[in-house]
Chains A and B, each alone.
Chain A
Amino acid sequence: MSAAQWRKAMNFSATSRHWAGGRVVPPPAGRAATPASTPPAINGQRLWRHIGARHVVVLAAVLLYPWIVPPFFTFQIGGQALALGLIALSLTFLAGYGGMLSLAQMTVAGIAGYVVAILGESGTPQISLGWPWWLVVLFAIAAGTASATFIGWLSVRTEGIYTIMITLAIGVAFFYLAQQNYEIFNGFQGFQKVVPPVVLGVDWRSPVPYYYLVLFWALCGYFFVKYLIRAPFGVALQGVRDNARRMSALGFSPVAHRVAAYAVAGVIASIGGVLLVWYNGLISPGSVGTGWLINILIIAVLGGLRHPVGPFIGAVVFVLLQNFAIDLVDRERFNLVIGLIFLVIVLFSPDGLLGWWAWLRERAGRRLARSAVGGKDWRSVGVQQARPAGRS
């Protein structure tokens, strides 16, 4: 064992948790300095105390939203943003709390979407089996989760920067498979006319029901992730992210936690994938191409990986840009705009829009110690996030 490795393994000084990219960041002031490993006591009374005015306002806003705006905004903006946000949420969970930047989350969602099209009904009856919708959805989520677990099992064998390469390679390989294979995936064309079922007399394809359906699952995903990151599993996962060696010395299995995190993220991404295929009404290799793999990353990073609300903010911004950037720039130059925005975010605000928000609050909040934000530093995301139940 070399001296450097030894130091790394015996990384015991208190401030070392804040080691970030070659320079020492002072420990965050005040409440943020409480140890990361204290599991918060979540009981009913406490839970209610955490609901502030802004939560009520946001909830009311998203519930009333379809009654205020025209159907285009309900479906194309609201519905799509929430479905994409749900997929990006799975990436936020993996990257923000597990430290694994997976580019294959759209592949997982796409596998779930393909299963919906293959087992359910589509415009290609030669392939589609036409099973009842509930069975199809169950199978889709099971298949998505299983593939996510497999992807996780493959990629956690290596660490850090390798993850992004391996998941990208898997994602692109699936894209080429879907494009070349006509027996199962129907090749280049994919499947059209994949529509949500009519259940309880409601057509879930029409804007308002679809919006509420997606909203329900988005809220489920959001609160599930919020719960999970405070649960023992989530706390252990953050421990693995911050220092896998130390966690394994404490008797936790980093590999098991990481694979489990992939599985959990797979469930979320699969639900998002089913909803997205119902939104689009079709699935084709283009839906799981490199462009979309990266778009999910952009959405998650744009919003910020600090908090599970980030992907939804990112998705709203992304969808708005997608729909209205055409008015600002040339018709076909959307990718240029989104690429440049992503570059600016990566270069200047690694915490995304949430980072800017925190920075603004910081500026406004008198001369609170500037170091408490750490918004300028990518790696300190973890440290901030590990804060126990204090502010939600």
Chain B
Amino acid sequence: MMRRWSWAWLIAVPLLALAAWGIADNARLFFATLLNGLTLAALYFLVASGFTLVFGLLRNVNLAHGSIYLIGAYVGWVVGDYTSSWFLAVAAGFLFAALLGLVLQIGVFRFMPGQDLRQTMATIALSIVAADVALWIWGGEIYQFDPPGWIIGAMPLPIVGKFPTYRLVLLATAIVIGFGLWWFLVRTRVGMMIRAGVDDRAMLSASGVDVQKLFAITFAIGAGLAGFAGVVGGTALSIAPGEDTRYLLASLVVVIVGGMGSVTGAALGAVLVGVAEQFGMAYAPTYGIMFTFVIMALVLAFRPQGILGRRT
């Protein structure tokens, strides 16, 4: 066991040295970047956890996940604009995306069980259609949410100075959702079924569980999380065409790094990718994306199934 992780020092020591240099050089920049990275990681976790949940159970690489994120955000914006309540917008984003996921699973993917390549290509086709429909309805403008006043101010913090309150709220939300998901998967009956299905679908089905219903529930939760992240993330940044690709890439890299089908892995991957991206942006602006890519390449080279993934 010790030998398996001994190589980790090869990575950890230079990283710690770099971090020490960063703190000595400009502590404020370092910690602000770290905090930004963690809040971005929170957002990535919200998007990727749904993706990985769906993959783990359904073996469906849902490449329309980014589109669900974007459409959830748009619908949330419309509701928020109409009712001028940000919380209703969040709920609407979640519910609409969950409904969308339900329709996709019941209407499309149920008819091609076991053909994961075909399902994936169908999701690609759907994502093209969804992106174009969204562009048709909402145009190319950039939309911004109008969250309640107490959320959008700045909060004084040690070392970093002022930090947007909303990002801290986002971080807290992701942690709460993460624990909620963990509780759901570990403590509830449906969660147990989902975990059993991840391990052996045929056996679960043989023991009398209505697998189709379980698939539909999982898909709805996964898509709903994407829609939820759409509104929550759209508030932190903004919503515009092209965001779907960005969050699809984020989910892909997060689950490749963390391990497919593992929610804990998604959290770990999100932290790695989010922090790496922010440090890249702060310290090497035009090569920022390379940090993400290098992490992915390293993980694939040394642990193809992802850090917490299991070989299937």
Contacts and interface: CB of A to CB of B under 8 A. Distances in A.
A303 to B, nearest CB: 14
Contacts of B135: 332
Interface in A337-360: 338-340, 342-343, 346-347, 350
Identify the interface centre among A172, A294, A336, A346: most chain B CB within 10 Å of its CB.
Answer: A346
A297 B115 contact: no
A343 B115 contact: no
A155 B286 CA distance: 25
B129 A343 contact: yes
Interface stretch (B5-13, B161-169, B177-185, B248-256): B248-256
A327 interface: no
A99 B129 CA distance: 26
Please list the 10 inter-chain residue pairs (A to B) with the smallest Cβ-Cβ separation, ordered nearest first: A339-B128, A343-B125, A157-B304, A339-B129, A335-B132, A176-B289, A336-B132, A342-B125, A172-B249, A173-B293
B250 to A, nearest CB: 10
B252 A169 contact: yes
Interface string B282-307: 00011111101100110011001100
Contacts of A338: 128
Given A182-B286, A301-B121, A161 B116 contact: yes
Contacts of B124: 294, 297, 342
A157 B299 CA distance: 11
20 contacts: A21-B115, A154-B300, A154-B301, A161-B116, A164-B61, A166-B256, A169-B252, A172-B252, A173-B289, A176-B249, A177-B287, A180-B287, A180-B288, A297-B121, A336-B129, A336-B136, A339-B126, A339-B132, A342-B121, A347-B108
A130 interface: no
A170 interface: yes
A165 to B, nearest CB: 5
B131 interface: yes
A237 B122 CA distance: 26
Contacts of A22: 113-114
B252 A378 contact: no
Interface in B263-291: 285-290
A181 B300 contact: no
Nearest to A153: B301
Interface string A128-171: 00000000000000000000000000110110111011101110
B interface, over-half SS: helix
Interface residues of B, number: 45
Contacts of B120: 161, 164
Contact of A173 (B126, B136, B249): B249
A294 B253 CA distance: 18
Given A154-B297, A157-B300, A342-B128, A333 B113 contact: no
A180 B115 contact: no
B288 A346 contact: no
Nearest to A20: B115
A290 interface: yes
Contacts of A119: none
A338 B108 CA distance: 18
A173 to B, nearest CB: 4
Interface in A279-334: 289-290, 294, 297, 301, 332-333
Centre residue among A155, A161, A182, A338 by max chain B CB count within 10 A: A161
B116 A180 contact: no
Contacts of A164: 61, 63, 117, 120
Nearest to B121: A346
A174 to B, nearest CB: 8
B59 interface: yes
Given A164-B61, A333-B136, A378 B115 contact: yes
Nearest to B288: A180
B132 A290 contact: no
A158 B304 contact: yes
B85 interface: no
A367 to B, nearest CB: 29
Contacts of A297: 121, 124
B75 to A, nearest CB: 19
Contacts of A176: 249, 289
B164 to A, nearest CB: 24
Given A154-B297, A335-B128, A169 B118 contact: no
Contacts of B304: 157-158
A378 B300 CA distance: 28
Contacts of B249: 168-169, 172-173, 176
A294 B301 contact: no
A166 B118 CA distance: 17
B171 to A, nearest CB: 24
B205 to A, nearest CB: 13
Given A161-B59, A164-B61, A166-B300, A21 B114 contact: yes
Interface string B205-238: 0000000000000000000000000000000000
A311 to B, nearest CB: 16
Given A22-B114, A164-B61, A164-B120, A169 B288 contact: no
Contacts of B154: none
A233 B285 CA distance: 44
B133 interface: yes
A166 B292 CA distance: 13
B187 to A, nearest CB: 28
Given A336-B136, A346-B125, 17 more contacts: A101-B117, A158-B300, A168-B63, A170-B293, A172-B245, A172-B249, A173-B289, A173-B292, A173-B293, A177-B287, A289-B245, A294-B124, A332-B135, A336-B132, A339-B125, A343-B129, A378-B117
B53 interface: no
A193 interface: no
Interface in A1-26: 21-22
A22 B116 CA distance: 12
A226 interface: no
B129 A340 contact: yes
B118 A350 contact: yes
Nearest to A335: B132
Interface in A176-202: 176-177, 180-183
B150 to A, nearest CB: 35
